[in-house]
Structure 1
Amino acid sequence: MEAMEGRLMEVMQSLATKVGVVESICEHLNQIDLKLEQQGERLDLAQKKVDLCMDSFGQVQQEQQQVSRALKSTPPLVSAAMLNMVGDAAHWYQAWKQENG
């Protein structure tokens, strides 16, 4: 009977040790779950920022395309001939200024 009690006591101690290990593992798993949840929240925030950036980038591209189309369809306000005349007048004025200045 004493041998059986001794064996039962050993099994109970072994079981208590294993329960302690399982509790420790459960605690570590809870900590990992908490960290994972926090990382998930951070990832969600980062994803929202990326989405906003991509939306903004898309809007900028659309605006650039609209401006480009508008510029292509609008005739220039100053023609090349007008620019040449202004350049010639500026050159003439500089020459006149040197002679009379």
Structure 2
Amino acid sequence: MKEFPVANGWTVVPLSGDLDDFSAREVRHLLDALADTGTTRVVVDLTAVDFLDSTGLNVLIGAARRVRGEQGTLRLAGAVPRVRDLVELSGVATVLPLYPDVAAACA
């Protein structure tokens, strides 16, 4: 399992590139493996994500549900405007908190 940085008790998962149908399976496996270790405070760093589609949103929602089932929280951080707009317009931001950067999400 890949090691991720921890800040203030939050495990930070940096993603990059496109989070779409082609990468969703890999990201889902990554977040599932993290949940399998009992990690319940997760920040997904979207700073380097250039594109996000409905498949990517579903992966993030599924991961958040799994973490919540373990009494945890998943937060999104650092989305570029195009990605942030999609998260907000889709209503996902009401379920998954969206923070301006990783530092704010880990506070």
Tell me the TM-score normalized by structure 2: 0.18
The answer to which structure has the higher strand fraction is 2
The answer to which structure has the higher helix fraction is 1
Larger-gyration structure (1/2): 1
